[in-house]
Amino acid sequence: EVHLVESGGGLVEPGGSLRLSCAASGFTFSTSSLNWVRQAPGKGLEWVSSISGGSTYLNYADSVRGRFTISRDDAKNSLYLEMNSLTAEDTAVYYCARVGRGGNEYGSGSYDCWGQGTLVIVSS
Amino acid sequence: EIVLTQSPATLSLSPGERATLSCRASQSISIYLAWYQQKPGQAPRLLIYDASNRATGIPARFSGSGSGTDFSLTISSLEPEDFAVYYCQQRAGWPLTFGGGTKVEIK
């Protein structure tokens, strides 16, 4: 069974940093494209970042480019999101999501598996 | 950026009724549109990918159609578990974007 489990969320002060992790199981991780998607409290879904298999292609939303870094460790079947210079606008549940059928080699596509999400709160 | 506009924002229907949700793109996205269902406190679930393909395990009462800029998700006969928020998402260009959502509520 395909499974994604996020961790690393929590309360952080404005300007602070946090590293999110996503542990994957049940599929061939190394060849899969993965994305981070976030959802602010009571709001809709916002794509954050994507990484292709082999880390060949990385993409970021304008709102996080230069502050967030996506990476993966295929040996550990894990996806990461390093977040720096956090602001209140980054407060959200962060989901990792796997690109399934209907995807391309650049890392975009539709998401056929999602983790349960990890909550990041940026507040003083 | 490709903007996706979903309508209506809220759809009030009774179980057994037909639901039709709309998603309009600000420019042509071919068939590169997906639909998700999200219930409170849960992660989204993929329903439809590439406009009209049902994802694994999705009941046949869910169907998607459209291409270019106009898309729709139809639920042929609403079951109690279908009352939720539905989002569309495009993968035609960066940044990937989602629509604002349509809430299907019990009338």
Rounded to whole angstroms, how far apart are CA atoms B89 and B72?
12
- Return mean pLDDT, chain B: 97
pLDDT of residue A102: 73
pLDDT of residue B90: 97
pLDDT of residue A106: 86
Q: Which chain B residues in 65-94 lie under 8 Å from chain A, judged by CB atoms?
A: 87, 89, 91, 94
Q: Which residue of B has its CA nearest to A107?
A: B91
**A108 and B CB contact within 8 Å:** yes
**Cβ distance of B43 and A114 shorter than 8 Å:** yes
> Using 50, 70 and 90 to split pLDDT, how confident is the model at B2?
very high
pLDDT of residue A104: 81
Q: Which residue of B has its CA nearest to A96?
A: B43
pLDDT of residue A103: 81
Type of residue at A48: V
**A102 and B CB contact within 8 Å:** yes
**Cβ distance of A110 and B91 shorter than 8 Å:** yes
Q: Give the closest of A50, A62, A115 to B43, CB-based.
A: A115
Q: Which residue of B has its CA nearest to A112?
A: B46
DSSP B101: -
Type of residue at B95: P
**A8 and B CB contact within 8 Å:** no
> Using 50, 70 and 90 to split pLDDT, how confident is the model at B45?
very high
What is the mean pLDDT of the segment spanning B89-107?
Answer: 97
Q: Give the closest of A95, A110, A117 to B34, CB-based.
A: A110
Taking 50 as the pLDDT cut, the residues of chain A under it are none
pLDDT of residue A68: 98
Using left for φ > 0, alpha for ψ between -120 and 50, and beta otherwise, residue B103 falls in beta
What tens digit of pLDDT does each residue of B78-88 get? 999 999 999 99
User: Would you list the DSSP string of chain A?
Assistant: --EEEEE--EEE-TT--EEEEEEEESS-GGG--EEEEEE-TTS-EEEEEEE-GGG--EEE-TTTBTTEEEEEETTTTEEEEEE-S--GGG-EEEEEEEEEEEE-TTS-EEEEEE---EEEEE--
